């Protein structure tokens, strides 16, 4: 049997699972997403703290100055978004996007309120019922707008601080003004914009259209055997009001699959399969090839394999960089404004400066010690530096050694900074001594009549 015949005899391979109600799947996924959206900033799982200039990511508290980690994280998310758009089309929009979730919730609650008012105010005129329903919808939209604006702003401002500002109705400080503005925008979005944002403003929709190719997952109408009964239920079910039968690449389509459910329900009643499906691009493809596992999850060409490999490399790099990160960052620099000073007790002094930052969430103690300098020691006001979480301390200290034991000019030594939370940090430094040995102290003259 030729492979072409074998392929033709196989049933079609489609990502659409027969009998699946995508609405139910979407609502379950969306509920999980809302919970994650709320928990991420509240538990510092992922948050950019603009006030303290910190980036919280999966339990690590990163400083904005840690550019390498931030750069890797941003690149990772950028490649992830691009990969998702290329392979899974607008899966993000239909299942994961907070804007879509809140838009759908807003439409559903408006409908529910309208029905409620219609049922309980049957005696009122149609116009009165509409006005009452609209006012009720606006009033009920205020608390969720405040709540979700709070969660959104908490991604950038410490939640406890934000809560106090909210309680005191602060609209004077920058954070208070931002909070109030975001609440107003959220309310406007809930009440008026909704899916209009996805259709006309959202950059992800445009990006997705640029990245999509012939293998991208999309929702398409495929009816080679003329099974469609032109009931238009798919059009009525579409939240953005388009007709999927006119083409799969309509910019407004968010791939939510509400039309798939609608068609499955209608045609299911007359024992036919839905003619709207999820599909990898428009082509029906080589069915035998499509049975391979990597093709069935969307890895259908070299470009996708490369982007997956890139993602894996970035993920490994990012986890390595985060795991190797030191909780306490210590920098030691010599003060070469004065090369050395010589004290009355014939000790040579070199001055150093230390900057220590505690990037962990626990208090740390830092101790300095010295190796390699004969009879050398560290002279500092604080032998131990106490570092509170998130604190940066700057201090100065002297390294001293007797002039008589030093090499004239440059001497080498090692300063060790020990912190309990990590391996000691070592700094190979130079110690400058006078080029000429200082005169030896004069001994008192011993002679007749002098007692030793």
Between 182 and 259, CB nearer to ligand SF4:
259
> Distance (Å, rounded) from C-alpha 91 to C-alpha 254?
8
Contact by Cβ (8 Å): 224, 282: no
Half-sphere exposure of residue 17, counting CA atoms within 13 Å on the CB side? 5
Of 184 and 229, CB closest to ligand SF4:
229
Closest approach, Cβ 94 to ligand SF4, in A, equals 7
Q: Which one-letter DSSP state was computed for residue 444?
A: P
Integer Cα distance of 90 and 208 in angstroms: 7
Of 25 and 146, the one with the shorter C-beta distance to ligand SF4 is 25
Nearest to ligand SF4 of 277, 357 (CB atom): 277
Closest approach of Cβ 364 to ligand SF4, in Å?
Answer: 53
Enumerate binding residues for ligand SF4 (CB under 6 A): 219, 228-234, 237-238, 240, 242, 244-245, 253-259, 262-263, 266-267, 275-276
Nearer to ligand SF4, 66 or 258 (CB): 258
CB of 295 to ligand SF4, least distance (A): 22
Distance CA 438, CA 346 (A): 8
**Shortest distance, CB of residue 165 to ligand SF4, whole angstroms?**
39
Give 23 or 287: the residue with its C-beta nearer to ligand SF4. 23
DSSP-H helix ranges across 338-438: none
d(CA 63, CA 69): 9
Choose between 262 and 413: whose C-beta lies nearer to ligand SF4: 262
Overall residue count recorded for the chain in this entry: 452
Shortest distance in whole angstroms from residue 112 CB to ligand SF4 = 20
Check: CB of residue 239 under 8 Å from CB of residue 107. Answer: yes
Closest CB to ligand SF4 among 101 and 162? 101
Nearest approach, Cβ of residue 278 and ligand SF4 (Å): 9
Q: Which of 207, 242, 201, 197 is nearest to 100 (CA)?
A: 197
Query: How far apart, in whole angstroms, are the C-alpha atoms of residue 132 and residue 124?
Result: 10
Between 238 and 403, whose beta carbon lies closer to ligand SF4?
A: 238
Cβ at position 323, least distance to ligand SF4 in Å = 41
> How many Å apart are CA 234 and CA 12, to the nearest integer?
22
- Least spacing, CB of residue 238 vs ligand SF4, in Å: 3
Q: Are 349 and 340 in contact (CB under 8 A)?
A: yes
| Contact residues for 350 (Cβ-Cβ < 8 A; gap 6+) | 334, 339, 340, 398, 399, 400, 431, 432
* Shortest distance in whole angstroms from residue 276 CB to ligand SF4: 5
Residue 308 and residue 369: Cα distance in Å, rounded?
48
- For 392, the token pair is 């940066």
Residue (176 or 205) nearer to ligand SF4, CB: 205
Token output for 269: 């009643």
Q: What is the DSSP string of 8-26?
A: HHSPPP-SSPTT--HHHHH
CB 185 to ligand SF4: min, Å: 24
What is the rounded CA–CA span in Å between residue 449 and residue 447?
A: 6
Which residues are registered as beta bridge partners of 165?
none
């Amino acid at each position: 049997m030729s492979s072409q015949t074998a392929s033709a005899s196989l049933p079609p391979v489609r990502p659409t699972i027969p009998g699946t109600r995508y609405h139910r799947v979407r609502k379950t996924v969306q509920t999980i997403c809302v919970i994650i959206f709320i928990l991420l900033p509240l538990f510092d799982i992922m948050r950019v703290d603009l006030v303290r200039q910190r980036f919280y990511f999966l339990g690590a508290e990163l400083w904005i100055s840690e550019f390498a980690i931030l750069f890797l994280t941003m690149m990772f998310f950028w490649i992830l978004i691009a990969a998702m758009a290329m392979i899974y089309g607008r899966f993000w929009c239909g299942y994961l996007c907070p804007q879509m979730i809140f838009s759908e919730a807003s439409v559903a609650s408006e409908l529910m309120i309208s029905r409620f008012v219609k049922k309980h105010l049957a005696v009122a005129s149609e116009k009165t019922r509409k006005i009452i329903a609209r006012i009720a919808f606006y009033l009920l939209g205020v608390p969720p707008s405040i709540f979700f604006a709070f969660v959104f702003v908490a991604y950038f401002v410490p939640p406890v601080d934000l809560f106090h500002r909210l309680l005191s109705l602060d609209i004077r400080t920058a954070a208070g003004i931002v909070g109030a503005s975001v609440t107003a925008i959220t309310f406007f979005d809930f009440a008026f914009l909704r899916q209009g944002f996805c259709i006309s403003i959202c950059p992800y929709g445009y990006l997705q259209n640029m990245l999509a190719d012939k293998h991208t997952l999309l929702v398409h109408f495929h009816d080679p055997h003329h099974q469609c009964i032109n009931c238009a239920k798919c059009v009525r079910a579409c939240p953005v009001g388009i007709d999927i039968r006119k083409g799969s690449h309509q910019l407004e389509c968010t791939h939510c699959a509400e039309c798939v459910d609608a068609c499955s329900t209608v045609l299911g009643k007359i024992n036919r399969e839905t003619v709207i499906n999820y599909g990898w691009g428009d082509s029906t493809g080589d069915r035998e090839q499509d049975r391979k596992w990597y093709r069935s999850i969307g890895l259908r060409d070299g470009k996708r394999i490369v982007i997956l490999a890139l993602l894996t490399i970035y993920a490994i790099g990012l986890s390595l960089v985060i795991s190797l990160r030191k909780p306490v960052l210590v920098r030691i620099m010599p003060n070469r404004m004065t090369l050395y000073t010589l004290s009355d007790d014939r000790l040579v002094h070199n001055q150093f400066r230390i900057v220590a930052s505690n990037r962990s969430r626990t208090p740390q103690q830092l101790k300095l010690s010295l190796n390699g300098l004969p009879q050398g020691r560290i002279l500092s006001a604080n032998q131990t530096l106490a570092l509170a979480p998130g604190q940066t301390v700057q201090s100065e200290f002297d390294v001293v050694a007797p002039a008589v034991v030093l090499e004239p000019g440059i001497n080498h030594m090692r300063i060790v900074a020990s912190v309990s939370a990590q391996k000691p940090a070592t700094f190979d430094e130079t110690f400058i001594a006078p080029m000429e040995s200082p005169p030896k102290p004069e001994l008192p003259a011993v002679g007749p009549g002098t007692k030793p």
